[in-house]
Amino acid sequence: MARYRWPTVVVAATCLVLSAFSLWWVFLAYADYRSPDFTKASAGPIVGTCVESVTDDQLKAAWYDKTDWKCNDNSKEELSNLLAVSVHAMYDYNKATPYTGDSLAVYEAVVSATQGVDTGYMITREHAYATLSVLGAPSSTDCATVYGVSTEGVLPVSVAPIVACDADVANSGSGDATVTPEAADVNKLYTHCAHQFSYARSYPTKGTFGIPMVGKEAKPVIIPIIATNSTTPWEDRARIVVGTRWGYATIFYVVAMLCTAFFIMDCKSSDLHRHEHTPVHTLCSYTFDSSVRFIDHRHRAPPGGAHSGACISNSTPVLVSSLHNTSNSHCSHVDRNVGRLTPILVRMHSTRTTIALPDL
């Protein structure tokens, strides 16, 4: 047993430390993230926007800079989504550094698609990467600052930008638009921007690297949101979404904290100092061949273990064997010359058994 003691101590101590850290992290997540969100959403109006843009590292992680980028329906849809959510960052960049060449054609096609006009221009991976890789961080995260407009109008019904494989568009000129691009309408674009980047108004989709996309509803993945419908103002819905998330998070965090606290108690220090082998005695009575009756204070052996000792009758020692979790003990020999029942006291120790027999 001794050789198993220190591994048990080390594992228990490690679990104790990790459980304590886990309890602390769960508390921080609840106190520093979920609760402030809930308080802010409940305290007053939800104002402001947060314009985002994709980074060059993210583009490279998706292999948009590689000529062997795998072009299929799924990858083309992801690139189309990424172009659609990047329109406002592209507009902000174009104000300071106007696009030229193929990048300008991509920009105009995306702006037109956002405003609901399909120009028919086919955007390739190469041209999309050239247009998006130069964006950097927007000059402002506020849609009103980007467009110089602060009043929302009617949300345009956007269409998806068309993405084609490089092999399908052999030359840069072959991707030209069949319809004249729509000039940028700041009122439409600002309304789209406000819908996209206002809190809990839109939600990311595949290929957007976490940037919200207009038309994707912000909601829990599995559990539906109650008390809302298509006529619910977005600010009220945002508060309900935050409250729902806070409520479900509260349930989970309470359960997690209780479970972690249980694990900490399970690793309490008293368990780390448990004796290797603690004798436990049980009073039992046996009769063998109707001649010798003895009282066995049996030692409770470890699981699967056994113990043995000596049975003495009429000063003649004979072997006694007792298996753990059984009520069977036997003497290999009993002296039948004993004329009366003789009490025998059996004392069990961790490693050996001794028997005391009164004088007959």
pLDDT tens-place string over residues 240-252: 888 888 888 888 8
Q: Which residue has the higher pLDDT, 178 or 355?
A: 178
Looking at the chain, the whole-number percentage of residues with pLDDT higher than 70 is: 70
Cβ atoms of residues 179 and 119 within 8 Å: yes
Looking at the chain, the whole-number percentage of residues with pLDDT higher than 90 is: 39
The runs of H, that is alpha helices, within the chain are 5-29, 35-43, 56-61, 73-85, 87-96, 101-114, 125-132, 143-147, 186-197, 234-266, 269-272
Cβ atoms of residues 262 and 25 within 8 Å: no
When pLDDT is averaged across residues 261-267 and rounded to a whole number, the result is 73
Cβ atoms of residues 216 and 202 within 8 Å: yes
> Which of 234, 154, 241, 230 is CA-nearest to residue 198?
234
Distance of CA 284 to the CA centre of its chain: 54
pLDDT surpasses 90 at 51: yes
Give the model's pLDDT for residue 162. Answer: 94
When pLDDT is averaged across residues 253-273 and rounded to a whole number, the result is 70
Q: If DSSP codes are grouped into helix, strand and coil, which group holds residue 217?
A: coil
Q: If DSSP codes are grouped into helix, strand and coil, which group holds residue 81?
A: helix
Looking up tokens 């003789």, which residue turns up? 342
Give the model's pLDDT for residue 4. Answer: 64
Q: How confident is residue 39, by pLDDT bands cut at 50, 70 and 90?
A: confident
Give the model's pLDDT for residue 296. Answer: 42
Tell me what the pLDDT averaged over the chain comes to.
76
All structural domains of the chain with their residue ranges: 47-198, 281-356
Contacts of 189 (CB under 8 A, 6+ apart): 87, 88, 91, 111, 114, 115, 147
Give pTM, 2 decimals: 0.64
d(CA 119, CA 107): 12
Q: How confident is residue 8, by pLDDT bands cut at 50, 70 and 90?
A: confident
> Length of the chain, please?
360
d(CA 274, CA 5): 9
Q: Tens of pLDDT along 190-221?
A: 999 999 999 889 999 999 999 999 999 888 77
d(CA 40, CA 34): 10
d(CA 322, CA 300): 10
Give the model's pLDDT for residue 268. Answer: 58
Contacts of 175 (CB under 8 A, 6+ apart): 102, 105, 121, 122, 123, 124, 127, 164, 169
Cβ atoms of residues 185 and 219 within 8 Å: no
Cβ atoms of residues 71 and 160 within 8 Å: no
Give the model's pLDDT for residue 188. Answer: 96
Q: Tens of pLDDT along 152-197?
A: 999 999 999 999 998 877 554 456 667 788 899 999 999 999 999 9
Q: Tens of pLDDT along 60-74?
A: 999 999 988 999 999
Q: Tens of pLDDT along 109-137?
A: 999 999 999 999 999 999 999 999 999 99
Q: Which residue has the higher pLDDT, 336 or 252?
A: 252
Cβ atoms of residues 316 and 357 within 8 Å: no
Give the model's pLDDT for residue 230. Answer: 77
Q: How far from 16 is each of 242, 275, 300, CA to CA, in Å?
A: 34, 20, 30
Cβ atoms of residues 309 and 352 within 8 Å: yes
Give the model's pLDDT for residue 231. Answer: 85
> Which of 80, 90, 213 is CA-nearest to residue 147?
90
- Per DSSP, the chain holds a count of helices (H) and strands (E) of 11, 11
Cβ atoms of residues 16 and 267 within 8 Å: yes
